[in-house]
């Protein structure tokens, strides 16, 4: 298919009308999008009490294809009873992510028992009884509790509280597979694990570093802010092994000038090798030092160990930096010159930085580079991890981590007279490994696709099959409902955010808490997440103890509890009465005082890892397409890259010639843990030679469980692969 020359534009407008028809009319979709609910997709933040398509600086209309896709998916019709009779579990296991998502809305509790061929519907009472009976029969540490970022603060807080009173700290969330390295890296440097700025600061920047990300596809509303920066004469430096169409030029549909003429986004586009970011970041810092452009006063007054850090830079050789980054000295000098002249600089990044075995080191290096010129701790500059799901940050804020922050732990115990577990608890990958060893018996998933998001998917399937019971709270089907099924698997249908009968809250990546009003249910059958959680907790633990679980079906009561125990969330207690959304105190740094032990930025030195791979190998990065969000695939084609299917590997033409490969040739792709046969080669000039690109989650079978030891995030980027022509005896694609 034809590759587009810009992101957004007329095709996005056309797509809006297409989704409007699917939703039952453009006016119906418009009303849904304008409801007073937080956007269901990325954490950039939109909606709430200002109404849909309004961002945190009041700009309207701010709309993107991701939000349309998520909304229309929730407006699907119900999965009919015939579906479950027609498709066996073995057939569901072969469904693609796209087919699963488009099967319809879940409206009945469904049960699969090993040995049966199909799921079967059961009543809610039976589902509650089965789950409570199983929980009562197990030691608490034989269970784990996994949370998606799509749920509300109220549901997340309630479920983690249930798990801990039940007796386990095996409580974790999807950020362990995406931005956990950002949280760990930032907390170690500035004492807080989130963005240091607000959206208004971004709008005033005169230089934005965009490192290891593709917001044109994954966070499209950020493109409006980048457009404003470029229009004012500001610059955007993109660091990415792949030249992404929307980061070169983007046509913002809501801006007539941009729509007609396009907006050039990147003023400089640099393509390091996959895994070369740390070397490049060190190189930029070294050049700033050699130019005499460092803010030595800021380093001395507001950073610890700055002399040690500067000495480390000076000891690095340019030969090491250039070899390990794959970036020329001239390009590094150019980046440093642009940085040196800028007055207000924002450093942003996504999973191209965090999805490495040295992801935390990458984040620490970004923070140090910002501190080098005093670009932290003042207005209009700072650090901005571009987070994924709409409430992934809020889920972490309200306690969905294996170990609670000390303040939350102490306040829960004192305010509610609880005795909480003090064990370390297992992170997401550790839960999978424990399940594989047979040490865990029950999993409870609040949204998400745990199977689909895992590395080494064969291992993941085996691990989940070891469980005696798995419980899913879901709105639609995903590949985890057909693969890696436990001995007993239950799918409980829940309401979407804008269908909730009570208000709920969500937190953006800018530490801004929104109130979502909810709305009328679209289908009969699904229940509210908090109703389901409170009922299971009541049936399991009873209501005579410290918590009256039945009363916790009231989201207002949950917010009362959050206000009492979560620092910075005091205003959430009355948010449903006042309608006053708020910025969480203590996280935005407009002065250079930081919540570290010394009040200063902590600077770290690192060994630069060598580039992986041999002469006839490639370094692989797994990526999302323009038509997907996380593991959810809304469209099979990737229009920005001009790719019409997902069972492909994108390789530079030079590498194709070197390896004896041709366009549309079937190949087998080996890593040290997995094998894929029958995928097609697509020659792709926009990727840096020596590297390759495949779609997530289809390529996860190639990704090892090796993780960053500091964040426990698997290295979905930098996977070393061998690509060979497929033998003539193999015709169909296969994953081994």
Clarify whether residues 416 and 545 are in a common domain: yes
Is 668 part of any domain?
yes
Q: Which two tokens stand for residue 558?
A: 């949950």
Clarify whether residues 332 and 406 are in a common domain: no
Q: Considering 28, 53, 74, which residue would you say is the last residue of a domain?
A: 74
- Beta strand 235-239 with 382-385 is unpaired
For residue 388, the model assigns a pLDDT of 83
pLDDT of 729 above 60: no
Clarify whether residues 558 and 703 are in a common domain: no
CA dist 375 and 223 (Å) reads 22
Q: Which two tokens stand for residue 564?
A: 């009492």
Clarify whether residues 299 and 406 are in a common domain: no
Is 448 part of any domain?
yes
Is 101 part of any domain?
no
For residue 546, the model assigns a pLDDT of 82
Q: What residues contact 553, with CB distance under 8 A and at least 6 apart?
A: 528, 530, 531, 534, 535
**pLDDT confidence of 470, banded at 50, 70, 90?**
very high
Number of CB atoms found within 10 A of residue 329's CB:
12
- pLDDT tens, residue by residue, 40-79: 998 888 899 999 999 888 889 888 899 999 999 999 999 9
Structural domain harbouring 327: 180-386
Q: Distance of alpha carbon 422 from its chain centroid, rounded?
A: 28
Instruction: Classify residue 103 as left (phi > 0), alpha (psi -120 to 50) or beta.
Output: alpha
Clarify whether residues 67 and 122 are in a common domain: no
Clarify whether residues 189 and 153 are in a common domain: no
Percentage with pLDDT > 70 across the chain:
99
Clarify whether residues 631 and 715 are in a common domain: yes
Clarify whether residues 400 and 266 are in a common domain: no
Instruction: Classify residue 567 as left (phi > 0), alpha (psi -120 to 50) or beta.
Output: beta
Exposure of 317 by Cβ count < 10 A (0-12 exposed, 13-18 middle, 19+ buried)?
exposed
* Average pLDDT score over residue span 704-729: 92
Clarify whether residues 404 and 316 are in a common domain: no
Q: Per the structure, how many domains does the chain have? A: 4
pLDDT of 691 above 80: yes
Distances (CA, A) of 424 to 125, 135, 382, 403, 635: 34, 21, 32, 6, 41
CATH number for the domain spanning 676: value is: 2.40.40.20
Is 501 part of any domain?
yes
CA dist 246 and 640 (Å) reads 7
For residue 176, the model assigns a pLDDT of 92
For residue 733, the model assigns a pLDDT of 66
On whether the CB atoms of residues 589 and 377 are closer than 8 A, the answer is yes
Residue 190: name the closest of 382, 401, 427 by CA: 382
Please name the residue that has the structure tokens 């249910």. 521
Q: Considering 363, 386, 409, which residue would you say is the last residue of a domain?
A: 386
- pLDDT tens, residue by residue, 131-180: 999 999 999 999 999 999 889 999 999 999 999 999 999 999 999 999 99
For residue 731, the model assigns a pLDDT of 53
Residue 375: name the closest of 290, 280, 295, 311 by CA: 295
In 433-454, which positions are buried (b, 16+ CB within 10 angstroms) versus exposed (e)? Answer: bbbbeeebbbbbbbbbbbbbbb
* Average pLDDT score over residue span 692-708: 97
- pLDDT tens, residue by residue, 353-374: 999 999 999 999 999 999 999 9
On whether the CB atoms of residues 504 and 516 are closer than 8 A, the answer is yes
* Average pLDDT score over residue span 235-256: 97
CATH number for the domain spanning 218: value is: 3.40.228.10
Is 345 part of any domain?
yes
Instruction: Classify residue 547 as left (phi > 0), alpha (psi -120 to 50) or beta.
Output: beta
Q: What residues contact 325, with CB distance under 8 A and at least 6 apart?
A: 272, 273, 276, 277, 279, 280, 283, 332
On whether the CB atoms of residues 570 and 563 are closer than 8 A, the answer is yes
Note the pTM of the prediction, 2 decimals. Answer: 0.96
For residue 423, the model assigns a pLDDT of 96
Instruction: Name which of 164-168, 541-545, 565-569 the model is least confident about.
Output: 541-545
- pLDDT tens, residue by residue, 251-296: 999 999 999 999 999 999 999 999 999 999 999 999 999 999 999 9
Clarify whether residues 653 and 704 are in a common domain: yes
Q: Considering 360, 386, 412, which residue would you say is the last residue of a domain?
A: 386
CA dist 468 and 68 (Å) reads 37
CATH number for the domain spanning 437: value is: 3.40.50.740
Is 94 part of any domain?
no
Number of CB atoms found within 10 A of residue 662's CB:
12
The answer to whether the peptide bond before residue 697 is cis (omega within 30 degrees of 0) is: yes
- pLDDT tens, residue by residue, 611-656: 999 889 999 999 999 999 999 999 999 999 999 999 999 999 999 9
For residue 730, the model assigns a pLDDT of 52
CA dist 293 and 307 (Å) reads 15
Dihedral (CA of 122, 438, 673, 240) sign: positive
Is 602 part of any domain?
no
Is 575 part of any domain?
no
In three-state secondary structure terms, 628 is: strand
Residue 499: name the closest of 44, 107, 83 by CA: 107
Clarify whether residues 372 and 241 are in a common domain: yes
Clarify whether residues 346 and 411 are in a common domain: no
For residue 45, the model assigns a pLDDT of 84
- pLDDT tens, residue by residue, 179-235: 999 999 999 999 999 999 999 999 999 999 999 999 999 999 999 999 999 999 999
For residue 389, the model assigns a pLDDT of 85
On whether the CB atoms of residues 516 and 497 are closer than 8 A, the answer is yes
Percentage with pLDDT > 90 across the chain:
94
CA dist 500 and 517 (Å) reads 8
pLDDT of 732 above 70: no
On whether the CB atoms of residues 35 and 503 are closer than 8 A, the answer is no
Element (H, E) at 121: strand 120-121
Q: Looking at residue 4, what DSSP letter applies?
A: P
Q: What residues contact 286, with CB distance under 8 A and at least 6 apart?
A: 313, 314, 316, 318, 321
pLDDT of 728 above 60: no
* Average pLDDT score over residue span 102-130: 98
For residue 43, the model assigns a pLDDT of 87
Please name the residue that has the structure tokens 């729509």. 259
Q: Distance of alpha carbon 92 from its chain centroid, rounded?
A: 25
- Beta strand 235-239 with 207-211 is parallel
Q: What DSSP assignment string belongs to 57-100?
A: T--S----HHHHHHHHHHTSPBPPHHHHHHS-HHHHTT--HHHH
């Amino acid at each position: 298919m034809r590759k587009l020359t810009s992101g957004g534009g007329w095709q996005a407008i056309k797509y809006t009308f297409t989704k409007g028809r699917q939703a039952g009319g453009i006016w119906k979709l418009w009303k849904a999008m304008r409801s007073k609910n937080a956007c269901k997709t990325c954490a950039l933040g939109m909606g709430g009490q200002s109404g849909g398509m309004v961002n945190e600086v009041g700009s309207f209309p701010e709309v993107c294809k991701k939000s349309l896709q998520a909304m229309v998916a929730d407006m699907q019709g119900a999965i009919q009873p015939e579906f479950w009779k027609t498709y066996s579990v073995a057939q569901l296991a072969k469904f693609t992510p796209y087919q699963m998502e488009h099967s319809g809305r879940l409206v009945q509790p469904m049960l699969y028992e090993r040995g049966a061929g199909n799921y079967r519907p059961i009543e809610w009472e039976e589902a509650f009884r089965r789950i409570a009976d199983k929980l009562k029969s197990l030691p608490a540490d034989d269970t784990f509790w996994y949370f998606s970022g799509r749920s509300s603060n109220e549901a997340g807080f309630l479920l983690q509280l249930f798990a801990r009173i039940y007796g386990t700290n095996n409580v974790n969330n999807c950020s362990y597979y995406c931005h956990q390295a950002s949280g760990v890296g930032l907390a170690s440097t500035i004492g807080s694990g989130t963005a240091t700025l607000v959206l208004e600061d971004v709008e005033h920047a005169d230089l934005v570093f965009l490192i290891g990300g593709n917001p044109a596809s994954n966070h499209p509303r950020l493109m409006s802010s980048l457009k404003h920066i470029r229009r004012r004469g500001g610059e955007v430096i993109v660091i990415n092994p792949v030249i992404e169409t929307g980061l070169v030029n983007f046509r913002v549909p809501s801006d007539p000038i941009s729509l007609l003429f396009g907006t050039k986004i990147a003023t400089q586009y640099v393509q390091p090798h996959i895994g070369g970011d740390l070397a490049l970041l060190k190189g930029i810092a070294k050049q700033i030092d050699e130019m005499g452009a460092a803010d030595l006063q800021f380093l001395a007054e507001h950073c610890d160990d700055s002399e040690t850090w500067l000495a480390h830079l000076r000891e690095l050789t340019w030969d090491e930096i250039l070899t390990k980054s794959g970036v020329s000295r001239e390009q590094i000098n150019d980046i440093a010159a642009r940085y040196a002249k800028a007055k207000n600089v924002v450093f942003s990044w996504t999973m191209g930085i965090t999805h490495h075995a040295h992801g935390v080191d990458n984040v620490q290096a970004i923070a140090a580079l910002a501190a080098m010129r005093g670009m932290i701790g003042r207005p209009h500059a700072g650090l901005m991890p571009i987070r994924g799901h709409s409430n992934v940050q809020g889920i972490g804020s309200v306690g969905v981590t294996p170990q609670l922050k000390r303040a939350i732990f102490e306040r829960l115990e004192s305010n509610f007279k609880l005795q909480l577990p003090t064990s370390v608890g297992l992170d997401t990958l550790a839960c999978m490994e424990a399940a594989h060893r047979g040490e865990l018996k029950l999993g409870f998933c609040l949204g998400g696709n745990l199977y689909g998001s895992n590395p080494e998917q064969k291992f993941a399937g085996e691990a989940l099959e070891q469980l005696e019971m798995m419980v899913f709270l879901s709105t639609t089907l995903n590949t985890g409902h057909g693969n890696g099924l436990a001995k007993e698997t239950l799918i409980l249908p829940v309401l979407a955010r804008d269908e909730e009968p009570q208000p709920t809250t969500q937190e953006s990546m800018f530490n801004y808490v929104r109130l979502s009003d909810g709305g009328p249910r679209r289908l009969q059958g699904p229940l509210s997440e908090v109703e389901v959680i409170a009922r299971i907790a009541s049936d399991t633990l009873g209501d005579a103890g410290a918590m009256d679980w039945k009363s916790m079906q009231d989201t207002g009561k949950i917010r009362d509890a959050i206000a009492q125990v979560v620092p910075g969330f005091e205003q959430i207690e009355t948010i449903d009465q006042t309608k006053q959304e708020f910025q969480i105190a203590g996280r935005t740094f407009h002065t250079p005082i930081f919540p570290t032990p010394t009040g200063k930025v902590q600077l770290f030195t690192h060994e630069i890892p060598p580039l992986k791979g041999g002469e006839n190998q490639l370094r692989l990065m797994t990526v999302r397409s323009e038509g997907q969000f996380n593991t959810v695939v809304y469209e099979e084609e990737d229009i920005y890259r001009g790719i019409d299917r997902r069972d492909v590997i994108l390789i530079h033409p030079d590498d194709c010639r070197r390896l004896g490969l041709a366009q549309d040739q079937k190949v087998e792709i080996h890593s040290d843990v997995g094998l894929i046969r029958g995928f097609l080669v697509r020659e792709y000039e926009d990727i840096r030679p020596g590297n390759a690109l495949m779609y997530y989650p289809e390529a996860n079978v190639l990704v090892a469980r090796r993780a960053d030891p500091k964040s426990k995030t698997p290295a979905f980027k930098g996977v070393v692969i061998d690509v060979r022509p497929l033998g003539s005896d193999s015709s169909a694609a296969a994953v081994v």
